Amino acid sequence: MRFFIFAKILTVSIQSKLYSFFKIVFPSSYVELGIFLFFLCVYGVLGSYIAVNYTIIFDDRIPWDAYFSFDNRSIVMTGGSFERHPLSYYFFNWIRELAFLFSDGKKDDTFRLVLAWMSNLMVSLSIVQIFKYLKNIIELQLIISLLLIVFFSVFSTPILLSFTPENFTYTLFLLMLFNYYAAVRLKNDKKISPLALVTAGATIGGLTITNLVKVFIPVFFEKDLFKNWKKLLDAFIRGAITVICFVLLYLNRIEFKYENIFSKTSSQYEKFSNAEPASVWDMIVSFFFGGNMLFPSFMIRDKHNMKGFHYKGLFMEVYSSPLSYLFVFIVLGLLVWSYYKNFKNKLVQVIVISFVVDIIIHCFMRFGLHTSYIYGGHFVFVYVLLLGWLFYAYKSSPKMISFLTAIVSLLLVYLGCNNYLRMEEFFDFLNKFYQ
């Protein structure tokens, strides 16, 4: 009798946790479902057209740098380099096999179409997560939340990732999902569960190792953590379990040849931190802060693979228009303003510290700074969340809300027009070289 009671309780507990999980991950209201379906259709049309008519999404002859330094073929076939993407090999194995299932094992337009729709699904779900955060955590008005997600949706990063099979596409979703989950837990004065930490560590850190540290940031803001030694010990144990699980999975991936990690990491840092196509400050503004929102102009370079196959690659240049710099500085000014107004808010501190990790890696250590416009999946959602918190800071001031709404609307108009024109240039590139 006791066994059946225990089994029933366990079943109910599992069902409850699964329900909570699906409620967080997927749309849980008609508005969220509408948002999801809208962006799934819009990005789906874009990705489907590119996948069916062009080879740019996956060309078996081109391992990397066909457009904006994305490593599409390399990522799809191998998961990328193990020192930067330690566990993505396993993740992309099933993505590749799923695409092969629909394409009968061929690397054709159907294969590309499945890859594009998987990316589309992840970006659309990421936008739903952003909306959930704006609605449930910041508790903004519906019209403001919709304005902000539309603003985000025309950033260069979600546009490109919506059809690009890359680590960044899935990292965008996983980071936004974890940030929302962590915000829900912290808002309700609850701790981050051990299972969530381990899962986030293996997925987020497994896709890009530098993001592993972001998993632990919310733990430091749990209620009374540094006032109660038992809570501090519990947090330490949860963190240790997460690190141990990640390390064991990582070592198993490389067959416990740990010496390869140090040699490969050193060579990768040298390779990606010394290129200087422009001044450092211009790369920071145009590529890191700006390139993930506002497309600059493009340049075409001659590239070749290991076997000598020559092809054309598309890259971004630094901004040439004063309006582009003005756009970036206005957005950065709003972000700094938001941080100042919400400095004592622990949820704001979590997302800002997470953003600072990327700033240190790319702007101070200069790793990949010359192509930092591809790293937006790691942090670009922070822009919209901080804008949301800025609206929150003035929720009792209708005049300021109107002012901020007008500013974001003007930014949206310029952003939309600029990125639309740049995407036309992108299609010109496809028509010339990738039909």
| Average pLDDT over every residue of 163-169 | 95
The CA distance from 22 to 31, in Å, is 16
The CA distance from 117 to 109, in Å, is 12
Q: Look at residue 6 and tell me if it is in a domain.
A: no
Q: Look at residue 12 and tell me if it is in a domain.
A: no
How many separate domains does the chain show? 1
For the whole model, what pTM was predicted? 0.93
| Average pLDDT over every residue of 110-130 | 97
Q: Look at residue 186 and tell me if it is in a domain.
A: yes
Of 148, 267, 166, 248, which is closest to residue 202 (Cα–Cα)?
248
pLDDT at 174: 97
Asked which of 18-27, 153-162, 256-265, 267-276 is least confident by mean pLDDT, the reply is 267-276
Q: Look at residue 5 and tell me if it is in a domain.
A: no
pLDDT at 276: 65
Of 403, 402, 415, which is closest to residue 326 (Cα–Cα)?
415
The CA distance from 208 to 81, in Å, is 10
pLDDT at 255 over 80: no
- Residue 299's domain comprises 26-433
The CA distance from 134 to 381, in Å, is 11
Q: Look at residue 316 and tell me if it is in a domain.
A: yes
pLDDT at 265: 58
The CA distance from 84 to 250, in Å, is 11
Asked which of 161-165, 248-252, 328-332, 401-405 is least confident by mean pLDDT, the reply is 248-252
Residue 279 confidence class, pLDDT cut points 50, 70, 90 = confident
